[in-house]
Chains A and B, each alone.
Chain A
Amino acid sequence: MTAPALSMPEIFETLTLRGGFNTNAVIMGTTLLGVAAGVIGAFSLLRKRSLTADALAHATLPGIAGAFLIATAMGYAGRSMPLLMLGAAVTGIVGVAGIHLLLRYSRLKEDAAIGIVLSVFFGVGVVLLSYVQQSTTGSGAGLNHYIYGQTAAMIRGDAYLMGAIGVLASITALVLLKEFTLVCFNESFARTIGLPVWLIDSMMLGLVVVITVTGLQAVGLILIVAMLIIPPAAARFWTDRLWRLVMISAGVGGLSGYAGAAISALLPGKPAGSVIVLVAGAVFAVSMLLAPRRGVLAGAVRLARLRVRIAIDHVLEALYEIEKGLSDDPPPTGRPLLIRLMRLRGWITGAPGAPALTDAGRAQGARVHRNHRLWEQYLISYADIAPTHVDWSVDQVEHVLSDELIEHLEQALRKRGLAVPAANGGAK
Chain B
Amino acid sequence: MIPAWIQQFMLLDLFPLSAAVMAAVSCGLLGNFLVLRRQSLMGDAISHAVLPGLVAAFLITQSRRPEIMFIGAAVSALATVVLTELIKRLGRVEPGAAMGVVFSVLFALGVYLLENAAARSVDLDADCVLHGNLQTLFWAEPPTQWSGLFDSQTLGQIPRQVWTLVVTLVAVFAFVGLFFKELRIVSFDPGIATAQGIHAGGMHMALMTFVAIAAVASFEAVGSILVIAMLICPAATARLLTDRLASQLTVSVGVSVLTALIGYGAASVMGVNAAGMMASVSGVLLVAAIVASPSHGVIARSRNQRRIGRSVATEDVLGALYRLGEIGKTAARGQLVKMLGAPARTKTAIERAIGDGLITERAGRLELTDTGRAHGAAIIRRHRLWEGYLVDEAGLSPDHVHATAERLEHLDLSERLGRGGTPELDPQGKPIPPGDRPTL
Q: Hey, which bits of chain A sit against chain B, CB under 8 A?
A: 1-3, 45, 48-51, 54, 102, 105-112, 114-116, 118-127, 129-131, 134, 144, 147-148, 222-223, 225-226, 229-230, 232-233, 236-237, 269-271, 273-278, 280-281, 284, 288, 294, 296, 299
Q: Report Cα–Cα, A17/B336, bound state, in Å.
A: 83
CB distance from A65 to the nearest CB of B (A): 10
Residues 211 to 251 of chain B near chain A (Cβ within 8 Å): 225-226, 228-229, 231-233, 235-236, 239-240
A and B contact pairs by CB, cutoff 8 A, 10 listed: A112-B235, A115-B228, A120-B283, A127-B267, A144-B127, A270-B112, A270-B116, A273-B111, A274-B115, A277-B107
- 4 further A-B contacts with Cβ under 8 Å, apart from A122-B276, A147-B127, are A112-B40, A122-B279, A148-B111, A270-B116
Interface size on B, residues (CB 8 A): 65
- Quick one: which of B100, B115, B283 contacts A124, CB cutoff 8 A? B283
Interface flag for B92 (CB, 8 Å): yes
Indicate if the CB atoms of B225 and A122 lie closer than 8 Å: yes
Indicate if the CB atoms of A116 and B232 lie closer than 8 Å: yes
Among B131, B235, B267, B278, the most chain A Cβ lie within 10 Å of the Cβ of: B131
Interface of B is mostly: helix
Among A105, A123, A270, A271, the most chain B Cβ lie within 10 Å of the Cβ of: A123
Q: Given A2-B120, A51-B41, A126-B273, do A119 and B232 touch, yes or no (CB 8 Å)?
A: yes
Indicate if the CB atoms of B280 and A225 lie closer than 8 Å: no
Q: Given A107-B239, A296-B91, do A119 and B279 touch, yes or no (CB 8 Å)?
A: yes
CB distance from A225 to the nearest CB of B (A): 6
Among B111, B278, B286, the most chain A Cβ lie within 10 Å of the Cβ of: B111
Q: Report Cα–Cα, A54/B96, bound state, in Å.
A: 10
Residues 149 to 191 of chain B near chain A (Cβ within 8 Å): none
**Chain B residue at smallest Cβ distance from A229:** B100
Among B87, B232, B271, the most chain A Cβ lie within 10 Å of the Cβ of: B232
Q: Hey, which bits of chain B sit against chain A, CB under 8 A?
A: 35, 38-41, 43-44, 48, 87, 90-94, 96-101, 104-105, 107-112, 115-116, 118-120, 126-127, 130-131, 225-226, 228-229, 231-233, 235-236, 239-240, 267, 270-273, 275-280, 282-283, 286, 290, 296, 298
Indicate if the CB atoms of B276 and A115 lie closer than 8 Å: no
Indicate if the CB atoms of B279 and A123 lie closer than 8 Å: yes
A residues less than 8 Å from B119 (CB atoms) = 2-3, 269
Indicate if the CB atoms of A112 and B100 lie closer than 8 Å: no
- Quick one: which of B91, B115, B131, B267 contacts A271, CB cutoff 8 A? B115
CB distance from A49 to the nearest CB of B (A): 8
CB distance from B36 to the nearest CB of A (A): 9
Q: Report Cα–Cα, A126/B93, bound state, in Å.
A: 33
Indicate if the CB atoms of B40 and A274 lie closer than 8 Å: no
Q: Given A105-B290, A116-B236, A119-B228, do A229 and B44 touch, yes or no (CB 8 Å)?
A: no
A residues less than 8 Å from B236 (CB atoms) = 106, 108, 112, 116
CB distance from A309 to the nearest CB of B (A): 22
A residues less than 8 Å from B126 (CB atoms) = 147-148
A residues less than 8 Å from B280 (CB atoms) = 120, 123-124, 127
Indicate if the CB atoms of B40 and A115 lie closer than 8 Å: yes
Indicate if the CB atoms of A273 and B275 lie closer than 8 Å: no
Q: Given A50-B96, A123-B279, do A115 and B104 touch, yes or no (CB 8 Å)?
A: no
**Chain B residue at smallest Cβ distance from A224:** B104
B residues less than 8 Å from A48 (CB atoms) = 94, 96-97
